[in-house]
Amino acid sequence: MRRRDPGVDSRDDHRTDDHGTDDHGTDDPVAGDPASGDPASDDGAPGDGAPDDRAPDDHVTWDGRSTAVGALRDVLVEHAPTGALRLVLQRLALHEQGRPAGTHESIDAILDVHGNLVSMSIAAAVRSDPSSSARFERAVSTLRADVAADLEAEADSLEVVLDADGTQRVMVMLSADVSPQEVAERSHPRALHGGPHHITHHAPALDELRDRLAAPSPGPMRRAWSAVRAGLRRTR
């Protein structure tokens, strides 16, 4: 059985408070270490990686269209590790006692490392490049505006999922009452949707994606024979 490592996560979540200052999350020195046997998860799951009894998410898929999604893919792919299966961006509005308390941001790449699904933060790489950071911010702002115009409401959580096969989707949660402390403690599983969440809750789909991408492409003769057979089926 393949071991899941949702906590092997070079986490560099980015959080901005109301005054525009940045607060970068720091890794727990023990949780998430494969040797510790206690992989962490951004969804508040127990130490063994198993989900708790709460719903895995309250996000819904946005069925609208925005050119900003393609722009985000262009930016993130530049900083993604080779072989990344999925790129996940989340921008989450935080609240403290009903008042705005900054923004939580995660930008993760999910890849397969020797049979293990691993989440790796690429937030620092994106944000440290001024050009990439500016392009990223413009794309996120455009997407947020497109979603708000379509839904006639601002979403507290905006999540973009970009798969290596070209599949992409936007997930939104209109109302998410999450505090900075809950983000730091990773105690709000329905709201935090970084790479570890995807590994914990969507591992079969990620395994299928990896296997499909790893399958050898058919050679010229096989492609030609498939085309002939397809033509024969159409003439029947």
- Would you state the pLDDT for residue 2? 44
- Would you state the pLDDT for residue 9? 42
**What's the CA gap between 170 and 64, in Å, rounded?**
9
Nearest to 42 by CA among 206, 207, 200: 200
> Percentage of the chain with pLDDT > 70?
66
- Enumerate the domain spans of the chain: 4-235
Rg for the chain, CA atoms, rounded = 19
The residue type found at 209 is L
DSSP string, 88-138: EEEEEEEEETTEEEEEEEEEEEEEEETTEEEEEE-HHHHHHSHHHHHHHHH
Higher pLDDT, residue 97 or 129: 129
Do residues 143 and 69 lie in contact, with contact meaning Cβ atoms separated by under 8 Å? yes
Tell me which fold the domain 4-235 belongs to.
3.30.500
- Would you state the pLDDT for residue 97? 76
- What would the pLDDT profile of 77-89 be if each residue is shown by its tens digit? 999 999 999 999 9
- What would the pLDDT profile of 41-94 be if each residue is shown by its tens digit? 344 333 333 333 334 447 889 999 999 999 999 999 999 999 999 999 999 888
DSSP string, 147-161: HHHHHTS--SEEEEE
Buried-state track 177-208, b at ≥16 Cβ within 10 A, e below 16: ebbbebbeebebbbbbbbbbbbbbbbbeebbe
- Would you state the pLDDT for residue 181? 78
Token reading at 79 = 């900083």
Mean residue pLDDT across the chain: 75
Q: What is the DSSP letter of 64?
A: -
- What would the pLDDT profile of 14-27 be if each residue is shown by its tens digit? 444 443 334 433 33
| pLDDT of 95 strictly over 50 | yes
Weakest mean pLDDT among 4-8, 28-32, 119-123, 229-233: 28-32
- Cα–Cα distances in angstroms (integers) from residue 198 to residues 11, 19, 73, 203, in the given order: 14, 31, 18, 7
Nearest to 92 by CA among 142, 154, 39: 154
Q: What number is the average pLDDT over the span 197-215?
A: 90
Band the pLDDT of 225: cuts 50, 70, 90. low
